Amino acid sequence: MSSPHQTLLNRILTENLKNVLKSIESTCLRCHRDPSEVKLIAVTKYAPLEAVRELNRIGLRTYGENRPQQLVERAQTLTEDSEWSPAEWHLIGQLQRNKVRLVLPHVALIHSIDSVQLLSQIDRIAEETGASASVLLQVNTSGEESKSGFPPELLLEQWERVCSFNNVQLCGLMTMAPLTEETKTVRSTFSELQKIQTDLNSTGRHPPLTELSMGMSRDYEIAIEEGATIIRLGSILFEGTAEL
Ligand SMILES: *Cc1c(COP(=O)(O)O)cnc(C)c1O
């Protein structure tokens, strides 16, 4: 039986999701892309567990969490729900080396690899435990000191070493735009990531990086225009649910 509260939550999330999907579709249409090339991740870091349950029921099955501990706790708790449909958990926030062992068995994709040392630790633990490890390299294309990620020059410099780990699947790149109203600046942090992807792929050192994880609630349309294949949306999906 659904409670009135659950019904209302379901209605708001369904409506929000419908609007977001519509806008993804019209953005794709505008820049001649196929909407199926853009994967939507629901960023659930601030959402209560019951809202994640409703999203799962509605059919959105990929979730992004910032903190390894919360990701693991939620993945474990929700898997035990009788109504839960299998889902993917992505880690989008910073990962300390001492949390790799904890999170690796539960995570489908880590977006936030920001050093060779972290990559090396993941490689070692993946080999030891047999867990698969799919990752994105976070690149600080905005150049802001507050942002983590490889500085672009450093990534190019370390590329050969980055490619040398056999137990890690390097799938692509991730970035975050600065918090600004200037769309030109936002757009250039995204287009810079695509340019780095092209540069890295042209070295021929590695199978092509295919994924570009970029775009959040306030800038995902620009990110899609600049080639995003993964967008990470939180607040826009949960709008109106905090007051319930
Ligand atoms: C919180 C967060 C998001 C989602 O942000 P919204 O503005 O709520 O859409 C996306 N990516 C990362 C890395 C985040 O930390």
pLDDT score for 110: 99
Query: 14 alpha carbon to ligand 1 midpoint, in Å?
Result: 20
Is residue 40 in contact with ligand 1, taking CB distance under 6 Å? Answer: no
Across 155-179, average pLDDT: 97
What is the 138 CA–ligand 1 centroid distance (Å)? 14
Task: Give the mean model confidence (pLDDT) for residues 211-224.
Answer: 98
For 76-97, the pLDDT digits (tens) are: 999 999 999 999 999 999 999 9
pLDDT at 224 over 90: yes
Residue 31 pLDDT exceeds 80: yes
Query: Is the pLDDT confidence value at 213 over 70?
Result: yes
Testing ligand 1's pocket by substitution, the residue of 216, 238, 241 carrying the most ligand atoms inside 8 A of its CB is 216
Q: Assess whether pLDDT exceeds 90 at residue 2.
A: no
Which pLDDT band holds residue 243 (cuts at 50, 70, 90)? confident
Residue 166 alpha carbon to ligand 1 centre in Å: 30
* Summary mean pLDDT of the chain: 97
What is the Cα–Cα distance from 92 to 45, expressed in whole angstroms? Answer: 10
Parse the chain into domains and list their residue ranges: 4-238
Residue range 91-142, pLDDT digits in tens: 999 999 999 999 999 999 999 999 999 999 999 999 999 999 999 999 999 9
Q: What is the mean pLDDT of residues 15-28?
A: 98
CATH class of 4-238: alpha beta
Please give the Cα distance from 167 to 68 (Å, whole number): 20
- In the chain, the percentage of residues whose pLDDT exceeds 70 is 100
Q: Give residue 1's pLDDT.
A: 60
pLDDT at position 167, please?
98
* Residue with CA nearest ligand 1 atom 6: 234
Q: Is the pLDDT of residue 66 over 80?
A: yes
